Amino acid sequence: RKEVEQDPGPFNVPEGATVAFNCTYSNSASQSFFWYRQDCRKEPKLLMSVYSSGNEDGRFTAQLNRASQYISLLIRDSKLSDSATYLCVNSGGSYIPTFGRGTSLIVHP
Amino acid sequence: DAGVIQSPRHEVTEMGQEVTLRCKPISGHDYLFWYRQTMMRGLELLIYFNNNVPIDDSGMPEDRFSAKMPNASFSTLKIQPSEPRDSAVYFCASSLANQPQHFGDGTRLSIL
């Protein structure tokens, strides 16, 4: 079983839609969680950290469910510019960060 | 603020040649990571350093790959001899412990 699993998509949604991604992890000792965004032919860039209490940044909301070992990312009012691949990352006590394969999002007019 | 700096941005070379990729981490970061990304395998961690010491190199594909970090501001990833299957984008990233990683622009490597 892969340590971090994501639905590769693509998720194809119209502008203005709300879309949610989940990411499951197998390492119960994971301590830190992040969502990254990667545009085509670019490097991954930090989108947001994921805290136990959940956190929100504008149209983006991230949540952590330790009992079920998954993190989620919700994007409201999707924009064309949100089209990208979204990668989840977790790291555990041994601090070996593990990236998921990413979920592709395509927002169309 | 200067981010992670990688060089070269692009490298095209013939198989059998030695390839050296370079990385300058963000000043003050004590973790440095080398990744390889391909369409087939996604983002793979090759090796990471903590305070210039290699901690885990289990992701290094084979003995043709080697990485060094002679000081806190410089690291290299070397492939010798290179093979066409090494073609990929190689990223370097740095961070503080349990903090988000910051990635360089990557080196796009093509082995002919």
* Residues in A touching B56 (Cβ below 8 Å): 96
Q: Encode pLDDT of B65-75 as tens digits.
A: 999 999 999 99
**Residue contact A43–B105, C-beta within 8 A:** yes
pLDDT given for residue A92 in this prediction:
72
Partner-chain residue, chosen from A42, A49, A102, that has the shortest CB–CB distance to B100 = A49
* Residues in B touching A48 (Cβ below 8 Å): none
Mutate: best of B40, B58, B101, B108, partner A, most A CBs <10 A: B101
Report whether the peptide linkage leading into residue B25 is cis, meaning its omega lies within 30 degrees of zero. no
What whole-number distance in Å separates Cα of residue B49 and Cα of residue B71?
11
**Residue contact A96–B31, C-beta within 8 A:** no
Q: Encode pLDDT of A37-68 as tens digits.
A: 999 989 999 999 998 888 999 999 999 999 99
In the numeric block, which tokens belong to residue B31?
């973790």
**Residue contact B91–A45, C-beta within 8 A:** no
How close is the nearest chain A Cα to the Cα of B19, in Å?
21
Kindly tell me the burial class for residue B46, based on how many C-beta atoms sit within 10 Å of its own C-beta (0-12, 13-18, 19 or more).
buried
Q: Whose CA is closest to A11, among A69, A86, A64?
A: A86
pLDDT given for residue A95 in this prediction:
65
Q: Is A14 helix (H, G, I), strand (E, B) or coil?
A: strand
pLDDT band at A94 (very low <50, low <70, confident <90, very high): low
Handedness of CA B46, B18, B93, B96 (dihedral sign): positive
**Residue contact A95–B102, C-beta within 8 A:** no
What whole-number distance in Å separates Cα of residue B25 and Cα of residue B72?
8
Q: Encode pLDDT of B38-81 as tens digits.
A: 988 889 999 999 999 999 999 998 899 999 999 999 999 999 99
